[in-house]
Chains A and B, each alone.
Chain A
């Protein structure tokens, strides 16, 4: 998923230009809210966390050194704010067991997905994301928002690139398994 995001004028925001800050919020609000919603699984909580994230961005924008992409910096704040909220509400990170997914099943699912309309596929993805743990949802979302850049992803999550690769693989496996459960087995068999 490609995002066309403008680099905000940090100096203008620091000088108190509310128009520039409002532009920044407009540019990033959907991304921040999407990540918050996928991690917290609750629209009200997600909106509150998204607001808190932008307040933190406003307060600490003077600390943005420009050694990473601005989006990476905002995602890092979003991720940490969501983790703080999860700790606060003591929501357990739902890591349920999942069935392994075989090569043949993956191939069949791919064929099924190719034939599903984009709108339906989007709905299906949302349902699957709801069942995924907060960390897996965040990891996959950031990976695709950041155009599959492992270096930026490792900066967001404060993890090494190798750890990110391993976690990404596991998150894909879990999402694949949830997808298999969500789709009607009969449909998969018909395509197989």
Chain B
């Protein structure tokens, strides 16, 4: 019998007498209470922003957009609302057409976006594995 087998036999012999340690009295109760408490807290959904703030923000945004359209329309000569909307469309397409990014910047943005997606996937898998 070689050394490795002898060593295996020795550790088997020692570990055969292994006995389990016992946690303190009431361990199970403490754990169950904590778990149930955690679950009830989990179910209590609280959004970061209350509804009234979200509603106020929505009203403000809509108000600003309407005000912007109105301001733009009164500065022109047209009278039709749809014509005004069309003008805004033309203005935005002109604005975006004027934007000119260098190739390096474009590639950097694309690579940055791809890296974020990749990191999200890797991190998601990592945390899932850690909990699973």
Cβ < 8 Å to A, chain B residues 1-23: 2-4, 6-11, 13-23
Cβ A37 vs Cβ B4 within 8 A: no
Q: Which residues of chain B are within 8 angstroms of A75 by Cβ–Cβ distance? A: none
Cβ B31 vs Cβ A25 within 8 A: yes
Interchain CB contact (< 8 A) of B10 among A1, A59, A176: A176
The closest CB in chain B to the CB of A171 belongs to B11
- Contact string against B for A residues 140-163, beta-carbon threshold 8 Å, 1 for contact and 0 otherwise: 110010000000000000100000
The closest CB in chain B to the CB of A122 belongs to B17
Q: B46 in the interface, Cβ–Cβ < 8 Å?
A: no
User: Beyond A125-B15, A144-B15, is A21–B132 a contact (Cβ under 8 Å)?
Assistant: no
The docked-state distance in angstroms from the alpha carbon of A154 to that of B83 is 70
Q: B38 in the interface, Cβ–Cβ < 8 Å?
A: yes
Cβ B22 vs Cβ A59 within 8 A: no
Binding site for A on B (CB under 8 A): 2-4, 6-11, 13-24, 27-32, 34-36, 38-39, 128-132
Binding site for B on A (CB under 8 A): 1, 16, 18, 21-22, 25-26, 29-31, 33-34, 37, 46-47, 50-51, 54-56, 58-60, 63-65, 73, 76-77, 80, 101-103, 106-107, 109-110, 113-114, 118-119, 121-122, 124-125, 128, 140-141, 144, 158, 169, 172-173, 175-176, 179
10 other A-B residue contacts (CB within 8 Å) besides A37-B21, A103-B2, A179-B10? A1-B15, A25-B31, A29-B28, A51-B30, A113-B10, A113-B14, A114-B13, A122-B17, A141-B18, A172-B8
